[in-house]
Structure 1
Amino acid sequence: MSFLSNLFHFHQSEDSADLTLYAPASGTLLPLSEVPDIVISEKIIGDGVAIMPESETIYAPCDGVIARLLSSKSAFSIRTALGLEVYVSFGIGSIELAGKGFSSEVKIGDTVKKGDPILQVNSAAIANKLKSTVISMIVVRSSGDIEKLTSASGSCVAANTPCVWVNLKHSDEKETTS
């Protein structure tokens, strides 16, 4: 097994996925089951990956349009050209800070490209006020006909490391399973 294979545990190539999401921050990839929030860890709103961040800028994990931006500036979602909604949230308990420690580079309706800066986090000002500083990136279950979602583990570099691959059900697959 190569060094990269040991460092990143990829389960799929970008070529076979309908959508590839890139790390919204540098850090360590974790399964959603390790996020200390039952809604996220039980994948109630969707599946994805978590990142224990080592940086204070959160970037767009894909191209699309900003569909949601919480007033706390701690979470946003991007609607992709495929109609999928990708929700990115910083920290557990960050909504209660009412925007203190966060700033946003975008507004709802803005078109973004993978790697565009979206949020700035002042970690020093808020770290002791949060239950966790983990970032969750979730493909919202109700936003598309998702067949399979695969996520990576290991270290990641913001906007450079592919970490989630989404495969959609295609019409020919639906017809054969009906």
Structure 2
Amino acid sequence: MEYKASMTLLGKLVKADNLPKHSKKLAISSPLSGAVVPLDEVPHDLFKHRLFGEGVAIKPSGYQVIAPFNGHIMEFPELANQIRLKAKNGLQIQIQLGIDSHLLMAEGFKRIKKPGDSFIQGDIIAEFSLIKMKKQLPSILCPVTLLNSEKVTAILPHYYSVIAGEDTIMSILI
């Protein structure tokens, strides 16, 4: 799948055959099962223009959000459609469950963990109704973005089908 790193606001995406010099490579496990696609495919300007950081989107095929690393919940509103996580190493990610999902007013979303809760990689953080999302949202794509992507050297996205908690969606180069 092609993408244009020059089109991104932050320009942090790289290809595997053109990695910049880095001292560490951190794998981010997929929080959702589904197909990983470029963030440019998300039909919302906040994500296309990287206002929530660089990352990827997942077209979900499951119904659970799995902790991609060890850390804690920074923010998880009652609407349960957006989750902000902080890893023990300081990386912060946001998982957005569908586009304009706030309009569902939490219907079809269930928080398993709450703000401030700690978790370990593989824990279930939330559940959602994919059927409800498909019927009522303009897009079921779920952006997964690195909120503090300005602090990393580059992000290597992995575009393929993934299983939550088992496969890597992106590698962070520091």
Coarse TM-score class (shorter-chain normalised): 0.7 to 0.9
Which residue number in structure 2 is paired with residue 129 of structure 1? 136
The Cα RMSD (Å) is 2.0
Report the equivalent of 2:16: 11
Q: Hey, which of these two has a bigger chunk of helix by percent?
A: 1
Find the aligned partners of 1:78 and 1:18 in 2 and give their Cα distance: 19
* Aligned position for 2:171: 165
The residue type paired with residue 154 of structure 2 is: K
Is the deviation greater in 17-26 or in 90-99? 17-26
Aligned amino acid, residue 29 of structure 1: V
**Is 1:27–2:28 an aligned residue pair?**
no
Alignment-mate amino acid for residue 127 of structure 2: Q
2:106 alignment partner, one of 91, 99, 112: 99
Alpha-carbon separation, structure 2, partners of 1:36 and 1:141: 22
Give distance in 2, aligned partners of 1:18 and 1:27: 23
Q: Which amino acid aligns with 1:71?
A: E
Distance 1:124 1:99 in 2: 14
Taking structure 1 as the reference length, what is the TM-score of the superposition? 0.81
Higher Rg of the two aligned structures: 1
The partner residue of 1:112 within 116, 119, 129 is 119
One-letter amino acid matched to 1:166? I
Structure 1 residue 17, shift from structure 2 partner: 4.1
| SS of aligned partner of 2:140 | strand
* Counterpart pick for 1:147 among 143, 153, 159: 153
Rounded to whole Å, the distance in 1 between the matches of 2:68 and 2:56 is: 12
Q: Deviations over 1:20-58 (max 9, x none)?
A: 211111111101011111111221221111110110111
TM-score normalised by the chain length of structure 2: 0.82
Instruction: Pick one of 40, 44, 51 that aligns with 1:44.
Output: 51
1:19 aligns to what SS in structure 2?
A: strand
C-alpha displacement of 1:102: 0.5
The CA deviation at 1:19 is 2.7
In the alignment, structure 2 segments of 5+ residues that lack a partner are 1-14, 18-22
Amino acid at match of 1:121: F
- For the residue of structure 2 that corresponds to 1:124, the secondary structure is helix
Between the aligned residues of both structures, percent identity stands at 25
**8 Å CA contact 1:20, 1:62 repeated in 2:** no
- Separation in structure 1 between the aligned mates of residue 115 and residue 152 of structure 2, nearest angstrom: 25
SS of 1:125's equivalent in the other structure is helix
